[in-house]
Amino acid sequence: MTNLFTIKELKEKGAKRVVLEYITEQDPSIPIPRTVDLEDREGIIVRSDHWREFDSFYGIFESVPLHKTYESGRLDNIYESLVPDLNTAKRIMMLQKISGDDKVQWEMKERKKLFKYYCKVRGLNPQEVLDELKLFPQEYMRSEKKGTIFQHPNVPDRFFIFMSSEGHRTSEALVFDFDKKVNPYKAYRITEEIDPSLLSEINLKKTQEIVELYNKITSMDKLKDGFSWMMEFTLEPTYVLQLRRFRKFEDGSNIECSWKNEENVFKTGLSLGITNSHGLTLPFIANRYGWHFPYGYDDNFTRPVHNLNKKSADGFAVSDSYSHYLTTFYPNLKAVMGIDPQKMANHGNLENLSTVPLFLFQMKRELKKAFPDFDKKFNDANSVMKVFSNGREGLVKILENH
């Protein structure tokens, strides 16, 4: 499981540039936005390019189109009052103070807090990290849709794809199996699961094109490193924007849960990560969120989770994952009772998917159906659950009298 892209080359050029240049060297027909000179003009996006973005720092740094209304990639806000020139773009990316209305100032302040805290808990010096940040100017590609695709790390023929229209939150997610054609497994739109048969032929055709492109790229020698990769792309027109390492491949196909047929076992057909046949026994708490939910601050909302993290060196489980960058702030976290895939498509939650050992999609919904007082019942960190996953299914049993 070696890194076939060396730390030296990642530091010299930046993770995005190194991987995209390698892809172009291998196959110039792959559609990648053109790299341009760093000029102060419209039609350029100045992309953050840090060597640590190869497999972490998801969305910590902004990428900024020049002379276009500023849209925050992290908070999904549009600031009509801010149309960045090159100098302003650099200041945004370097987390420096900029002029603007109160909302812009608030976001810059909050982004800097997140960055500093993220570095602190990872044992990094924030200024040294900023000093290593590189700028990667590309031609700005306007597109109808943007998306993210990754291969399931435990079910090699299964893929996740998230889609959004330009300038909007992710509204569609598809989980599908792929041999020679797309075979939809589960589909989601806006806030609910839908019947995959409702997907249009156009959507399936576009999905087919993207997964074929993804497979073409990830079959290249330097991307065959024992890990699943995550690819960001556009549609109409189609371009590849970025690839980052996602999760290590682990085969759980021969693992069966030893307590699967017991009473009061909750199931989901969508999980990431594997255990042995006995699973893990973990203390469990219903996660709660305050105003500063992305940052893991020790306030009235997050203190119980912080306390559980401190005293549970062998691991613990939470519901949901709205708290961004969970395993950065809670390094002992072993399992998340998750929500629907389309709600996971912001950068912080994508990092959660890449780092939380066990992620059981839709399990919170199953538990809330069984326990109408869910938030109250599981808010004191005194509950214990057994958790199993082989990548194809996730199982949970609450141990009432542990």
Can you give the pLDDT of all 402 residues of the chain as single tens digits?
357 899 999 999 999 999 999 999 999 999 999 999 999 999 999 999 999 999 999 989 989 999 999 988 666 678 888 999 999 999 999 999 888 778 888 888 888 988 998 999 899 999 999 999 999 999 999 888 889 999 999 998 999 999 877 655 667 889 999 998 999 999 988 778 889 888 888 789 999 999 999 999 999 999 999 999 999 999 999 999 999 999 999 999 999 999 999 999 999 999 999 999 999 999 999 876 654 444 555 566 677 888 899 999 999 999 977 767 888 889 999 999 988 888 777 778 899 999 999 999 999 999 999 998 998 889 887 899 999 999 999 999 999 754
Q: Alpha-carbon distance 284 to 304, whole Å?
A: 11
110 occurs within a structural domain: yes
Domain boundary among the residues 188, 216, 248 is at 248
pTM listed for this prediction: 0.93
Which pLDDT score is estimated for 107? 84
178 occurs within a structural domain: yes
19 occurs within a structural domain: no
Question: Residue 329: phi, psi to the nearest 5?
Answer: -85, -25
Classify strands 358-360 and 333-337 as parallel, antiparallel or unpaired.
Answer: parallel
Structural domain span for residue 202: 145-248
253 occurs within a structural domain: no
CA nearest neighbour of 17 among 63, 60, 74: 63
Which pLDDT score is estimated for 67? 97
Q: Are 46 and 118 within one domain?
A: yes
Q: Are 157 and 133 within one domain?
A: no
**Cβ-defined contacts of 212-220 (< 8 Å, 24+):** 213/30, 213/238, 213/240, 214/149, 214/151, 214/159, 215/178, 216/27, 216/30, 217/23, 217/27, 217/30, 217/243, 218/151, 218/243, 220/22, 220/23, 220/26, 220/27
CA nearest neighbour of 76 among 259, 264, 306, 346: 346
Are the C-beta atoms of 226 and 248 separated by less than 8 Å? yes
Which pLDDT score is estimated for 191? 74
For 55-158, where are the alpha helices, taking DSSP H only?
Answer: 86-93, 102-121, 126-131
Q: Are 60 and 86 within one domain?
A: yes
Q: Are 207 and 314 within one domain?
A: no
22 occurs within a structural domain: no
Q: Alpha-carbon distance 213 to 73, whole Å?
A: 25
328 occurs within a structural domain: yes
Q: Could you give the number of structural domains in the chain? A: 3
CA nearest neighbour of 392 among 275, 237, 248, 228: 275
pLDDT, tens only, 131-187: 999 999 999 998 888 899 999 999 989 999 998 776 556 678 899 999 989 999 999
CA nearest neighbour of 322 among 283, 358, 292: 292
Which pLDDT score is estimated for 301? 63
Classify strands 280-285 and 64-65 as parallel, antiparallel or unpaired.
Answer: unpaired
pLDDT, tens only, 318-364: 997 776 788 888 999 999 998 888 877 777 889 999 999 999 999 99
135 occurs within a structural domain: yes
CA nearest neighbour of 2 among 339, 331, 248, 322: 248
Q: Are 217 and 283 within one domain?
A: no
Mean pLDDT, rounded, of the chain: 90
Domain boundary among the residues 139, 159, 179 is at 139
Which pLDDT score is estimated for 287? 78
